[in-house]
Structure formats: C-alpha cells, structure tokens
C-alpha cells in the first residue's frame, strides 16, 4: 500500500536518534518509543526515519491469568536468550489504581534486567484499551522491530479472564499457567486452548504443577490449535530459572515451523492488519469526537430531535467532516 504522499526526509536530529537506537543506545530506544507512543509530528518523523527498515523481530506474546508469573518468566527468558541479538520486553501496564501494586512489583523486578544492555524493558500504558493490550502497542512493536531487535516479548495484562487479542499481533503466543490457580478447564474454555502456541506451567517448584501440566496435555492432545505443529506443554520455574531454556527452544521451534509452512508471513500480515485497524480506530474516534462536539452538530441534533431532519440525511455530512479531519496534514 502506498500512501501517495511524498516521503519527506526526517530532520537530522531524529535521524541521528534512530541511528543511535539502531546501534543499541538504550536511552535513544527509550526516546524513540516515547515519541511513537505519542502520536504527533515527531512520531511521524520517526516513522519516516524507520520506513523501509527491515522488520525481522520474532514477536512473542506472553499471556495468562493474573499472578501466573508472566513478568518473572519474561524476565528469565530475556536474561537467558541465546546469541547476542537484542531483546525488547514490552509489558502492558493497565494503569489502574487497583493493580498499582503489582505493576510496581513488575518494575522493580524488571529493573534488574536493564543493566544487561541487550535487553530493553518498557511498560506501555493500556490507556483504557481492553483485551489485555495497550493503545499504541502496535507502533511500539513495529518500532523495536525496525530498530533491529531480534525478539519482542509482549506481556499482556492478566485481568481475570484470559486475554487473547495478543494472538493477532504475535508470531508465537505463550500461555502461562500455574498450579493452584483454580479451574484450568475454565481457563481453556475461555479460548486460550485455541490460540496458545506454547503452553507453560510456571511455578513448577510448587506442588500441583505436574497435575496442571497433565490436564493441559490432555486438553491439547492431537489438537494443533491455529498453528502448524502440536503445541508443547512445558514446565518451568521462573524464580528458580528452571525450564527456561526449553521454553525458549519451544518458542524458537514454533517460529521455525511457521517459517517452513509459510504461516510466518500470514501472521505478519495479520499484525499489519491490526496495526492498520487500531490506527484507523484511534484517528477515527478522535476526529468523530471533535465533530460531535461542534456547534453545527448540536444544531443538527436539535433538528433530528424535533423531527425537522431525518438522521439518515444528517449522517453523510458528518461523515464527510470526519473524513476531512482525518486527512493527513502533510
């Protein structure tokens, strides 16, 4: 898809920032993400500077019920990642006062990672987006991928029911379970069994982990879910750092199978689709809110209420104004 718009060169400062971020400068990566997470002229410049960069990162979604150990597991995976490629961790922050405590915990735990240099950790505020994701997460994933990161681990919000929207963005979705979390069958019924590519029972150091793994194996037996290969059910302990290499291997094997079957491209297109859709959603709702709050719209509302105008006659004019507002300025 070409926009038909001229691709203006980015300013030297943004280009220099992108160059530094691409070379591994963590502060520069941080700045870039802050820019892309806040739509505006500078975000547009960053996008221009990243335009045509290769996006080869393995996008891994990590989801599962609250407290299953997603953050601890993601930290352990990032720390144990083989090779010298850079790993980004994007943790969705529900920015809700109710979960403030656990978020602080995440930050503290994840902080120990930032010293490694290879691992970049960022929490992304959900800004009210549901489905376990955050507004702008597509842009954040796209940016770190374009900056040359090898893998992006996206930890979703666990808000009680299992959140599966991440599967629209990830190449590989890891579902994290733990013993003693209640009804596994219920969790599976909520959809995770259909979407998870790798299932892991974390807290393998606690009693009951093997029983949960057995239940999961029974539920997934002979069922390949949405992917090309049978889904592994693994056991790990994020705190004891056991089973982490096997989990990383399972995730890498899944990607290799996707590449071999052609599904990697399918998932990449699906991610692009979600990126497009969420961008359209956002720009559309901002423009619609602006038009709806205009005096002209209030007058139209009064005419509709009195029966003077038919709603179907008023709507096309409003749609045209919204479209006018959405039109890019450059």
Using rule CB under 6 A, residue 70 touches ligand GTP: yes
Using rule CB under 6 A, residue 122 touches ligand GTP: no
Contact call for residues 205 and 239 (beta carbons, < 8 A)? yes
Q: Give which of Mg ion, ligand GTP, none residue 68 binds (C-beta under 5 to 8 Å, depending on kind).
A: ligand GTP
**Residue 68: C-alpha distances to residues 35, 48, 79, 322 (Å):** 32, 39, 19, 43
Q: Which of 205, 252, 268, 297 binds ligand GTP (CB under 6 A)?
A: 205
CA-CA distance, 153 to 157, in Å (whole number)? 13
Closer CB to ligand GTP, residue 62 or residue 258? 62
Look up residue 228 and give its two tokens.
């090309």
Q: Which residues contribute to the site for Mg ion (CB under 5 A)?
A: 70-71, 106
Using rule CB under 6 A, residue 63 touches ligand GTP: no
Please list every residue from 12 through 51 that binds ligand GTP, using CB under 6 A: none
Using rule CB under 6 A, residue 156 touches ligand GTP: no
Contact call for residues 218 and 190 (beta carbons, < 8 A)? no
Helix axis angle for 263-292 and 244-261, nearest 10°, is 90
Minimum distance from CB of 21 to ligand GTP (Å)?
A: 27
Q: Which of 13, 27, 67, 256 binds ligand GTP (CB under 6 A)?
A: 67
Q: Return the number of other C-beta atoms located less than 10 Å from residue 275's C-beta.
A: 17
Closer CB to Mg ion, residue 101 or residue 328? 101
Using rule CB under 6 A, residue 192 touches ligand GTP: no
61-79 b/e (C-beta count within 10 Å ≥ 16 → b): bbbbbeebbbbbbbbbbbe
**Residue 121: C-alpha distances to residues 64, 117, 178, 273 (Å):** 19, 10, 24, 25
Closer CB to ligand GTP, residue 69 or residue 148? 69
DSSP 234: E
CA-CA distance, 33 to 124, in Å (whole number)? 9
Find the part of the chain contacting ligand GTP (CB under 6 A) among 64-72, 113-121, 146-154, 245-253.
64-72
Please list every residue from 215 through 244 that binds ligand GTP, using CB under 6 A: 237-239
Minimum distance from CB of 50 to ligand GTP (Å)?
A: 29
Residues in contact with ligand GTP by CB under 6 A are 66-72, 102, 105-106, 158, 202-203, 205-206, 237-239
């Amino acid at each position: 898809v070409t926009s038909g718009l001229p691709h203006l060169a980015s300013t030297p400062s943004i280009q220099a920032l992108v160059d530094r971020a691409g070379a591994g400068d963590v502060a520069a990566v941080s700045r870039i993400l802050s820019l892309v997470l806040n739509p505006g002229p500078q975000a547009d410049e960053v996008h221009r500077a990243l335009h045509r960069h290769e996006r080869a990162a393995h996008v891994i979604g990590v989801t599962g019920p609250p407290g299953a150990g997603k953050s601890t597991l993601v930290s352990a995976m990032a720390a144990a990642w083989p090779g010298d490629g850079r790993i980004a961790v994007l943790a969705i922050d529900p920015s809700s006062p109710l979960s403030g405590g656990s978020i602080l915990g995440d930050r503290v735990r994840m902080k120990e990672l930032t010293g490694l240099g290879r691992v970049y950790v960022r929490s992304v505020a959900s800004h009210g987006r549901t489905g376990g994701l955050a507004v702008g997460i597509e842009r954040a994933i796209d940016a770190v991928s374009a900056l040359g990161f090898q893998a992006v681990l996206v930890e979703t919000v666990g808000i009680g029911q299992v959140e599966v929207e991440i599967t629209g963005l990830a190449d590989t979705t890891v579902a994290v379970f733990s013993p003693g979390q209640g009804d596994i069958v219920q969790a599976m019924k909520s959809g995770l069994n259909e979407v998870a590519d790798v299932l892991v029972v974390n807290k393998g150091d606690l009693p009951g982990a093997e029983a949960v793994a057995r239940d999961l194996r029974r539920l997934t037996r002979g069922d390949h879910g949405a992917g090309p290969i049978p889904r592994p059910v693994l056991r790990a302990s994020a705190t004891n750092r056991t089973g982490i290499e096997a989990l990383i291997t399972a995730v890498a094997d899944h990607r290799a199978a996707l590449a071999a079957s052609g599904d990697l491209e399918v998932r990449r297109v699906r991610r692009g689709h979600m990126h497009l859709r969420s961008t359209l959603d956002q720009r559309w709702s901002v423009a619609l809110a602006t038009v709806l709050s205009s005096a002209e719209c209030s007058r139209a509302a009064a005419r509709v209420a009195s029966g003077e105008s038919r709603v179907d006659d008023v709507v096309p004019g409003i749609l045209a104004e919204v479209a006018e507002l959405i039109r890019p300025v450059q």
